[in-house]
Amino acid sequence: MMNQKTIILKIGGSVITDKNGELEAKTEIINRLAEEIKKANLDNLLIVHGGGSFGHPMAKKYAIKEGLKQEEQKIGFAETHHIMTVLNGLVMDALIWHNVPALSVTPSSCIIAKNGRIHLFEENILRKLLKMGIAPVLYGDTILDDQLGFTVISGDQIASHLANKFGVSRIVMGVDVDGLFDSDPKDTKNPKLYDQLNLEELESIKNNIGTSTSSDVTGGMIGKVNELISAIEQGIPVSIVNANKRNRVYKALIGAKVEGTILKKE
């Protein structure tokens, strides 16, 4: 079915949006990343991006993650999804402009959640696209939920779910820091970057790792790492690189040596 060598690239919402600005996309970075994706020239790539300042503040405002409790939330649900499609549209624009055959696959159109976790995922379309060499692009989104009415699922949850389902060869996480540190690099003077961590080491330091200081309804770096544990347990290595720095995502995509943190089973 699926090409065993499928690679998942997850691009953090904080990389492609300005978390301090209101609905401000970092189009220059989006364009550079599209250029790096084109240069990597992979025909087995699946891309997932986060919501950053597009998705999170609005999801929070309307308490979408907590589910449908009030009539007024329905318009918030509609609006939050809509605003995510605007951000996704900018990403798709850049990819197509750089001649990357990529198709946006709308999470809320093919996923149903149960209590905040992916429950039903119509994946045939993803499999077909990957087989054709067209990169599916998904994103953190508002999703219908069998128990809550609706909820929010993060790009990290989608990436991890698909990694487990498809048995991908590896996951590249493009974030806004150099990797995992022993303390928050935004708060600490001399944080130590971990080159490589196995599951055991990861578990033991998990509560100490540098957490992202910016607000994120789907969890900061700890949330990200927690989502990925099940994939790592399956033997899928995760390489975390700084997507703000030129060519790090590119190098990680082609499997070249690059500054960052690799999370592995053993």
Report the nearest approach of a second copy to the CB of residue 153 (Å). Answer: 14
Tokens for 49, please give them.
């991006």
Comparison of 144 and 205: residue with beta carbon closer to a second copy:
144
Among 6, 14, 53, 104, binds a second copy (CB under 8 A): 104
The distance of closest approach from Cβ of residue 79 to a second copy in the complex, given in angstroms and rounded to an integer, is 5
CA distances from 158 to 29, 106, 146 (A): 22, 12, 17
> How far is residue 245's CA from residue 33's CA, in Å, rounded to a whole number?
10
Radius of gyration of the chain (CA): 17
Q: How many residues interact with a second copy (rule CB under 8 A)? A: 38
Residue 115 near a second copy by CB under 8 A: no
- Closer to a second copy at the Cβ: 139 or 181? 139
Order across the sheet with 170-175: list the strands: 102-104, 135-139, 45-49, 7-11, 170-175, 238-242, 261-264, 196-198
Residue 107 Cβ vs a second copy, minimum distance, rounded to whole Å: 8
Nearest alpha-carbon partner for 42 in 252, 263, 217, 235:
252
Return the H-helix or E-strand segment holding 155. Answer: helix 155-166
Span of 2-10, 30-38, 101-109, 239-247 interacting with a second copy by CB under 8 A: 101-109
Give Cα 136 to chain centroid, integer Å: 13
Nearest CA-CA partner of 153 in 214, 218, 88, 80: 218
> Considering beta carbons, is residue 1 or 120 the nearer one to a second copy?
120
110 binds a second copy (CB under 8 A): yes
Residues 142-181 touching a second copy, rule: CB under 8 A, are: 144, 149
Q: Contact 13/50 with Cβ under 8 angstroms?
A: yes
String of contacts with a second copy for each residue 59-98, x by CB under 8 A: ---------x-----xx-xxx-xx--xx--x--xx-xx--
- Residue closer to a second copy by CB (options 37, 177) is 37
- Alpha-carbon distance of 209 to 199, in angstroms, equals 14
Scan for tokens 């935004």, then name that residue.
186
Among 21, 125, 192, 255, binds a second copy (CB under 8 A): 125
Q: Which residues bind a second copy (CB under 8 A)?
A: 68, 74-75, 77-79, 81-82, 85-86, 89, 92-93, 95-96, 99-106, 108-110, 112, 120, 122, 124-125, 128-129, 132-134, 144, 149
